[in-house]
Amino acid sequence: MIVEERITSFIHSMSEENEGIVEEIRREALADEVPIIRLETQEWIKTMLLVKQPMRILEVGTAVGYSAIYMSQYISPESRITTIEKWKPRIEQAKKNFVRANKQDQITLLEGDAAEWLAKLDGSYDFIFMDAAKGQYIHFLPDVIRLLAPNGVLISDNVLQDGEILDSKFVVERRNRTIHSRMREYLYTLKHHEALETSIIPLGDGVALSVKRDC
């Protein structure tokens, strides 16, 4: 927890409940221990969508499709979401969930490794949600920046890793060191890249909000 439990509980107590099938999918995902976005993070993303009103959204890390379905509620019917997932059982569940939520025409699932898909994709996206394996964000970044439209928004989830990111690498357990140094490198790059302006926010598990400069 990077935010005090009582503050998070307070924010949750003020939150709107999802309705119908979206809430059903959320509960199933939690029961199956799928690492879906947190309530306070989803509400913040909702407001970002309403500010930005994107037409083309790219998500890296579908899991069972919860966040894609959640986001689809706050974009125009003409907007499209493309989302990438590599793990077969989750792909199958996500496909079912898109049909259950009647979002199969608005959401396109790309099956396979994000690194390969990102290298192949072209065109531009005005909203990208990075929510896959944290140790790979830094490798995805060059393609993500290429795919981001001018003034496009990049949201990266889970960037503060329960606060461990603050610790010196010498106190981080050996098995977590690679991910620790890669996430530090990722945040440093987001903050110093000439094409981006970034704000790191202690919300949920830590999010970074980046905007691509129109240059």
Q: Which does 93 bind (CB under 5 to 8 A by kind): ligand SAH, Mg ion, none?
A: none
What's the CA dihedral at 16, 203, 118, 187 to 10 degrees? 170
Pick the stretch among 7-15, 48-56, 108-116, 178-186 that binds ligand SAH (CB under 6 A). 108-116
- Sketch the per residue contact string, 155 through 174, with Mg ion: x for CB under 5 A, - otherwise: --xx----------------
Query: Residue 136 binds which one of Mg ion, ligand SAH, none, with CB within 5 to 8 A depending on kind?
Result: ligand SAH
Cα separation, 148 vs 170, whole angstroms: 35
Binding-residue total with ligand SAH (CB under 6 A): 19
Kindly state the smallest distance separating residue 23's Cβ from Mg ion, in Å.
19
| By CB under 5 A, residue 40 contacts Mg ion | no
CB of 111 to ligand SAH, least distance (A): 9
Strand pairing category for 148-157 and 207-212? antiparallel
Q: Considering only residues 44, 54, 58, 85, which one is a binding residue for ligand SAH as defined by CB under 6 A?
A: 85
Among the residue ranges 11-19, 113-121, 173-181, 195-203, the one whose residues contact ligand SAH (CB under 6 A): 113-121
Residue 158 binding result from Mg ion, ligand SAH, none, given CB thresholds of 5 to 8 Å by partner type: Mg ion
Residue 18 vs 171, nearer CB to ligand SAH: 18
User: Toward Mg ion, which CB reaches closer, 196 or 208?
Assistant: 208
Residue ranges that bind ligand SAH, judged by CB under 6 A: 35-37, 61, 63, 66-67, 84-87, 90, 113-115, 131-133, 136
